[in-house]
Amino acid sequence: MDFETWWLIFVPVLFALGWIASRVDIRQMLSETRSLPNSYFKGLNFLLNEEPDRAIDAFVEVAKLDPETTELHFALGSLFRRRGEMERAIRVHQSLLARADLPQADRESAQHELAQDFLKAGMLDRAEQAYEQVLDTRFAVPAVRALIRIYESEHDWPRAIEAVKRLRALVDEPVPQLAHYQCERAVAAMSGKSPDFKAASEALDAADHAASALRGEAGQASEARIAMLRAQLARLAGRPEEERAYLVSVLDTAPEYASLIAGELMESYRRVGQQEEGLAVLQNHYVRRPSLDTFNVVFRELRSQQGHKPAWAFARQALRAHPSLLGLDRMLEAELVLNEDPAGARPAAPEGAAQGSAADIVAGADLSLLRTLIHKHTQRLDRYACRVCGFEARHFYWQCPGCNSWETYQPRRLEEMK
């Protein structure tokens, strides 16, 4: 294609147009900058200098001078909430919602922010109402999650279950705590002077259905709790064989949780006169899955059924394989209790079983003094701990009292996890 000289005319024209456009943009930018209050720049300067208190005061002044600064209101509300100034955060977001000209998207955002303010302030009723108003918006998923937490804290398990179902309709993900919600319903049905066996059974069936979707350790925890509650239900209904069957099932389906039911299992065998069989079952399980609680039950039962020599022989072998101050403490406690029982207060050992006391084995030992010394060092080890927040408790919890997380307690004492 031939070059035409007159095309050179376009070069200065294009240059002039670009220069004019840049001048317009600069003037517009300078005009907008001049329209911003000085407090805005002061606030930015305070933020850069890590002076959040003075920055907030400056931004509040901007918000008063220019009520149209929606984004600044949102930023202020978030800052107040982070700092724990809940009253100021609530006022900021309520002032936004009071504006008739607020766009719908901003109104939904303000409503969600206000719900978070109420929740952090502990105003659960108002938080619940605020979250319900955004259930049909883009904030539906976080709103449902927050409602689940609210219903949990209120122990409103039926509404928590309904909220979980709504969450499952929005996102395809497992909700491990659903099985525990149903278990809590079963616990409530079995409580009181007149247990509702039908409601408890239906709740445990629903818990079974929820647990079937889980796999791995989380599934074991749910299965263990369901079996334990079914055993409790069978005991209340006067069905000892069924109770024992459910407790024994924990040894196979959730062996890590056997320590939680070892004592109950032994008692269930004793109620039907089969304590020897129960002792054998627990001894065999201890060989496969040693734990402090199972050790304690086996030692006490051996001491009661067969005398001190077999019990101490078992204890020596167990503590050599798994050294434990807490185990020794439990053993000495059981020995002292049995020695202090008046005659006839405990079952007589079978004919031919070893009699006497531990002094025959530990010559010259003052077991009371020994146990006192050891017990001082084992009190801090005789606890369960949450894997998430580290909250320690003497009792096992399915839901951590510290952080409200589910299934974060291992069924082992602190000493066993070291």
Domains along the chain? 67-173 (1.25.40.10), 175-260 (no CATH), 277-339+365-378 (no CATH), 384-418 (no CATH)
Structure tokens at 205: 């069936």
pLDDT at residue 43, rounded to an integer: 55
Average of per-residue pLDDT across 282-295 = 89
Residue with tokens 């982070």: 82
Q: What is the pLDDT of residues 376-412, one digit of tens each?
A: 556 667 788 999 998 988 899 999 988 889 989 989 8
Among 81, 100, 120, 181, residue whose Cα is nearest residue 131? 120
Q: Using the predicted structure, report yes or no on whether residue 147 has a pLDDT greater than 90.
A: yes
Q: How far apart are CA 28 and CA 260, in angstroms?
A: 73
Average of per-residue pLDDT across 261-276 = 92
Residue positions forming the annotated binding site for Fe cation: 386, 389, 400, 403
Grade residue 186 by pLDDT with cuts at 50, 70 and 90.
very high
Q: Output the pTM of the full model.
A: 0.75
Is the torsion defined by CA of 278, 280, 283, 287 positive or negative?
negative
Give percent of the chain with pLDDT exceeding 70: 68
Residue positions forming the annotated binding site: 386, 389, 400, 403
Q: How far apart are CA 418 and CA 416, in angstroms?
A: 6
